[in-house]
C-alpha cells in the first residue's frame, strides 16, 4: 500500500533519516571457522556501523544479519542505545525458513503448508523441533521417516 525506496550504499549520508536499515557488515565465515571466531572482529565493525547509524538515522529500525548474529544484535543495541523494539535480528526467521524449505522440498508441498518451531541461538545451537512441526496440520513425524527427518534436521 505504499512505495519504497531501497538504496544499497557504503556512504552513510545516503542513508540519512532512513526508516529501516539492514546491516550486513562484517567478515564472512571461512571454512572451518565458527561464528564465535568472528566475534571480536565483527564486533568492531558493527560498533562503527552502529555509531554512524545513530548519528545519521536516529529513528530507524535496524535489522541485523551480521554473524555471530545474536552477539551482533546485542552490540548494535548497546552502541546505538535505541529502544529494544528497534534493533532486530533475523536468525530465527532465517533458520525456520530454511527448515521449512528443506521439508517442503522433501514432501513436494508449499512452505506455506508447514508450521515449524526452532529453539536456541542462531548457529550450531539452533535446533529444529520435529515434534512441533506439522504439514497441513499433520505431524511431520507421520510423513517422513525418522532417519530422513534426522538428515534434514542436521542439514
User: Domain limits of the chain?
Assistant: 10-87, 90-152
Outline where the chain has alpha helix (H). 39-56, 69-80, 91-107, 146-154
Q: Does domain 10-87 have CATH number 3.40.50.720?
A: yes
CATH class of 90-152: alpha beta
Place of cell 562503527: 48
- CA 134 – CA 100 distance, rounded (Å): 10
Q: How far is 26 from 40, CA to CA, in rounded Å? A: 11
Based on the residue annotation, tell me whether 122 is a catalytic residue of this protein: yes
Q: What is the mean pLDDT of residues 82-101?
A: 89
Residue range 3-19: mean pLDDT, rounded:
85
Mean pLDDT of 9-13: 86
Tens-place pLDDT, residues 111-130: 999 999 888 876 677 889 99
Q: Which listed residue (23, 122, 126, 135) is catalytic?
A: 122
Q: How much is the pTM?
A: 0.69
Amino acid at each position: 500500500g505504499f512505495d519504497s525506496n531501497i538504496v544499497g550504499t557504503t556512504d552513510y549520508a545516503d542513508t540519512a533519516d532512513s526508516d529501516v536499515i539492514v546491516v550486513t557488515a562484517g567478515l564472512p565465515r571461512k571454512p572451518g571457522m565458527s561464528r564465535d571466531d568472528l566475534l571480536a572482529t565483527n564486533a568492531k565493525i558493527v560498533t562503527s556501523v552502529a555509531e554512524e547509524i545513530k548519528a545519521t538515522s536516529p529513528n530507524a529500525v535496524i535489522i541485523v544479519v551480521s554473524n555471530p548474529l545474536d552477539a551482533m544484535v546485542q552490540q548494535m543495541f548497546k552502541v546505538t542505545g535505541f529502544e529494544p523494539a528497534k534493533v532486530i535480528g533475523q536468525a530465527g526467521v532465517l533458520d525456520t525458513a530454511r527448515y521449512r524449505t528443506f521439508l517442503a522440498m522433501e514432501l513436494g508441498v508449499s512452505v506455506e503448508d508447514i508450521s515449524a518451531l526452532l529453539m536456541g541461538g542462531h548457529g550450531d545451537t539452533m535446533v529444529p523441533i520435529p515434534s512441533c512441526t506439522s504439514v497441513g496440520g499433520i505431524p511431520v513425524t507421520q510423513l517422513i521417516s525418522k532417519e530422513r527427518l534426522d538428515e534434514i534436521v542436521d542439514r
